[in-house]
């Protein structure tokens, strides 16, 4: 599939360079369109749509897509002219009806009664709705979500007009969840849907995900996930859910088994390495935990949680020199204020005061404004004989924490209180 896409991109880039129209099929153009959409290649997308119109003048799809691009670029009048043409040429095409609704919404009108009439017209005309059309209508309704608009009612109406295939059920439930309207009706729908489509893995996974979200009985959830894994032993989502459940229950060894399975099926993931490390840490295996934290930061040097976990693990083991070395590696990759705060703290523990001062200064420059950080900075400046900076930082601390007694005590030295 990837080789085919690469081949299509090569052909389109040749067309982009020399302008010679090659005979792409409509399906190939749609594949390229999806790629350009996902990669935000707006100029190429527009050029591709124009090519589709020239190659397939009798296919309304590319003309409708042209109108949508005009809408997105703010050219509403031009889009409306395209719609007028399309209504004459293709009065029964569903995309034309959707375009009319899109233009109405882009105009920014808040006539929800009129929107309802237009929605109902599309539902009545094209019932039963195929999955693609239902998905589009679900998205449109979510787009105009407003307290004054009966969103749940319309999502229910759209769903009622579908063939109620598993994909329709999933889209409906996702839509309710997206606008925080997942209610008892949806909770009741799941068992019915799973009973009707017991072999639909995606639906079962969705059900498991919501059972976890609703804090339902964990044994029921684990049994559901085991059923999924019997059918699909490499299902990453099922392994992830089970790993998280096992970790939450303190069964760290079993959680590690599922996390490792994810790593064997997918490309290595820094976040999964981190979770395996945490499970080892909670099991009292600090050395193994550190190995996995290191794997995480090697996989993604900008993965801050893994750096924090690795540094903290060394600190808990009393390995301050290793913690400092690791922290220095971390700030080389991520100039993060929390990392500099930790580095300053470690240097203080080792009584490396000039290095601690430098680390805390970096933290301050990056936005650290915690009272304790300001007090440590003041004390280090004072200890270093830099009284001007000590006074300056304590003045700033007074502005940040005007009633704090620790700051007040230090201010008395400068007769500033």
- Beta bridge partners, 129, equal 162
pLDDT of the residue at 385: 92
| 3-state secondary structure labels for all residues of 176-187 | HHHCCCCCHHHH
DSSP single-letter state for residue 56: -
As a whole number of angstroms, the distance between CA 265 and CA 283 comes to: 25
DSSP single-letter state for residue 346: H
As a whole number of angstroms, the distance between CA 127 and CA 123 comes to: 6
Q: Residue 255 has which token pair? A: 């959680």
Which residues in the chain show pLDDT less than 70?
1-2, 21-22, 108-109, 415-417
pLDDT of the residue at 317: 95
SS3 call for 245: helix
Instruction: Count the neighbouring beta carbons within 10 Å of the beta carbon of residue 349.
Output: 13
Place of tokens 């990837």: 2
Domain edges within the chain? 369-417
pLDDT of the residue at 273: 98
C-alpha distances out from residue 124 to 93, 161, 269, Å: 14, 8, 47
pLDDT of the residue at 415: 66
> Cα-flanking dihedrals φ and ψ of residue 162, to 5°?
-85, 175
As a whole number of angstroms, the distance between CA 246 and CA 238 comes to: 12
pLDDT of the residue at 144: 81
DSSP single-letter state for residue 130: P
Q: Are 187 and 193 in contact (CB under 8 A)?
A: no
Q: pLDDT tens digits for 77-95?
A: 999 999 999 989 998 899 8
């Amino acid at each position: 599939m990837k080789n085919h896409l690469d081949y299509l991109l090569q052909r389109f880039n040749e067309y982009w360079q020399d302008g010679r129209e090659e005979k792409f099929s409509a399906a190939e153009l749609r594949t390229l369109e999806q790629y350009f959409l996902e990669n935000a290649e707006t100029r190429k997308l527009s050029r591709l749509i124009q090519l589709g119109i020239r190659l397939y003048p009798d296919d309304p799809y590319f003309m409708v897509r042209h109108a949508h691009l005009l809408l997105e670029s703010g050219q509403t009048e031009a889009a409306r002219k395209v719609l007028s043409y399309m209504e004459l040429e293709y009065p029964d095409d569903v995309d034309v009806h959707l375009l009319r609704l899109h233009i109405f919404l882009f105009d920014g009108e808040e006539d929800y009664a009129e929107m309802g009439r237009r929605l109902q017209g599309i539902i009545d005309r094209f019932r039963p709705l195929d999955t693609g059309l239902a998905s589009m209508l679900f998205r449109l309704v979510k787009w105009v979500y407003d307290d004054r608009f009966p969103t749940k009612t319309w999502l229910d109406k759209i769903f009622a007009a579908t063939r109620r295939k598993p994909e329709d059920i999933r889209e409906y439930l996702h839509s309710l969840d997206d606008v925080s309207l997942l209610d008892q009706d949806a909770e009741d729908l799941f068992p019915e849907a799973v009973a009707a489509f017991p072999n639909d893995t995606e639906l079962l996974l969705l059900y498991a995900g919501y059972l976890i979200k609703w804090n339902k009985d964990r044994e029921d959830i684990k049994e559901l996930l085991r059923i999924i894994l019997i059918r699909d032993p490499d299902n990453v989502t099922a392994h992830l859910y089970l790993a998280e459940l096992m970790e939450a229950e303190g069964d760290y060894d079993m959680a590690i088994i599922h996390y490792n399975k994810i790593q064997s099926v997918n490309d290595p993931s820094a976040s999964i390495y981190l979770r395996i490390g945490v499970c080892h840490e909670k099991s009292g295996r600090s050395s193994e935990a550190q190995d996995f934290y290191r794997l995480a930061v090697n996989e993604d040097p900008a993965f801050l949680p893994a750096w924090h976990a690795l540094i903290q693990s060394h600190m808990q083991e009393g390995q301050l020199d290793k913690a400092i070395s690791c922290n220095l590696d971390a700030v080389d990759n991520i100039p993060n204020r929390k990392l500099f705060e930790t580095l300053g703290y470690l240097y203080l523990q080792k009584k490396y005061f000039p290095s601690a001062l430098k680390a805390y200064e970096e933290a301050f420059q990056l936005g650290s404004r915690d009272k304790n950080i300001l007090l440590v900075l003041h004390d280090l400046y004072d200890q270093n004989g830099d009284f001007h900076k000590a006074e300056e930082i304590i003045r700033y601390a007074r502005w940040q924490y005007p009633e704090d007694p620790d700051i007040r005590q230090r201010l008395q030295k400068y007769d500033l209180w």
